[in-house]
């Protein structure tokens, strides 16, 4: 029952970033201070790191414990949507930032010891943890590790800025709430 209802929920919620007019946020973006732009870039750098890890390593680690074809279908959808999320961050970057700025953001992301430690801890569990530990790590990643990064774009939405960027974040939050609940239940 949970597999069927989750599948239906996930397929009802399907979306792609190409349907969100991110370029409509360019006027707001240009009005932000350099500090604000730096903050937003770093937030999305961190989210990209974690979502990429979840789509490439996390869901794959959970697959070892799949018991039914229905469960496999749900995990296929989750893995695909994690890739959509990571691509969405890329679309945000490419709309708002220059190539040099994007390279600078990812240099920061790849060398920030706190982000790297966070990713390392979760990835270590994905590679070597028990099935239960992998599910707990995934739920933590799908919920509070992602949600802490969602504050900044939602803050700007609350101040009538970057509405389309925030729309993507709201769609990702909607997905992650289903992913975290499903994996936690399993």
Please answer whether residues 54 and 142 qualify as being in contact, where contact means their C-beta atoms are separated by less than 8 angstroms.
yes
The number of CA neighbours under 13 Å toward the Cβ of 141 is 31
The kind and range of the H/E element at 13 are none
Q: What is the DSSP letter of 57?
A: I
Please answer whether residues 11 and 77 qualify as being in contact, where contact means their C-beta atoms are separated by less than 8 angstroms.
yes
**Which of 5, 8, 149, 160 lies closest to 88, judged by CA?**
149
Q: Cα 144 to the chain's mean position, in Å?
A: 11
Catalytic positions, please?
A: 89
Please answer whether residues 95 and 23 qualify as being in contact, where contact means their C-beta atoms are separated by less than 8 angstroms.
yes
Instruction: Write out the two tokens for 88.
Output: 């969405």
């Amino acid at each position: 029952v949970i597999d069927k209802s989750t599948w239906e929920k996930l397929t009802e919620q399907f979306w792609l970033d190409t349907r969100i007019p991110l370029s409509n946020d360019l006027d707001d973006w240009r009005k932000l201070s350099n500090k604000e732009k730096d903050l937003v870039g770093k937030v999305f750098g961190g989210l990209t790191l974690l979502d990429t890890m979840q789509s490439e390593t996390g869901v794959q680690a959970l697959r070892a414990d799949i018991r039914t074809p229905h469960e496999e279908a749900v995990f296929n959808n989750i893995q695909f949507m994690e890739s959509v999320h990571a691509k969405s961050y890329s679309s945000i970057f490419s709309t708002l930032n220059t190539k040099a700025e994007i390279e600078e953001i990812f240099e920061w992301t790849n060398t920030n010891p706190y982000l790297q430690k966070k990713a390392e801890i979760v990835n270590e569990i994905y590679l070597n943890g028990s099935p239960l530990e992998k599910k707990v790590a995934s739920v933590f990643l799908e919920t509070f590790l992602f949600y802490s990064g969602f504050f900044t774009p939602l803050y700007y939405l609350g101040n009538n800025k970057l509405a389309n960027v925030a729309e993507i974040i709201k769609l990702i939050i909607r997905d992650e709430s289903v992913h975290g609940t499903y994996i936690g239940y399993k």
